[in-house]
């Protein structure tokens, strides 16, 4: 198993994963990154007009392996 680190970025800045999680494959790590993105989006989106959320997955060596972002803009028409 390999250790993957999931760093999260939003308008407030980065939240770096210091512990990481063990996964058997990089596809399982990708699934976890998308789950994290979904969960945070569910919590943050209802009260903002512009939201950009990003999860970056890095290896134990610090190399970036995967990135997923979600951008939501909303506003009333005049």
Q: What share of the chain is helix, strand, coil (3-state, %, to 5)?
A: 30, 45, 30
DSSP state of 64: E
**Residue 63 DSSP symbol:** -
> Where residue 78 falls among pLDDT bands split at 50, 70, 90?
confident
Q: Which token pair is 18? A: 């210091």
pLDDT for 72: 85
The residue whose two tokens read 């999680």 is: 21
pTM: 0.87
More confident residue, 37 or 48: 37
Confidence (pLDDT) at 46: 64
What lies within 8 Å, CB to CB, of 47 at 6+ separation is none
């Amino acid at each position: 198993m390999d250790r993957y680190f999931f760093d999260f970025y939003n308008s407030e800045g980065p939240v770096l994963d210091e512990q990481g999680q063990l996964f058997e494959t990089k596809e399982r790590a990708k699934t976890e990154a998308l789950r994290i993105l979904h969960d945070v989006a569910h919590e943050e989106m209802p009260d903002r007009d512009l939201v950009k959320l990003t999860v970056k997955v890095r290896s134990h060596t610090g190399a970036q392996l995967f990135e997923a972002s979600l951008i939501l803009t909303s506003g009333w028409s005049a």
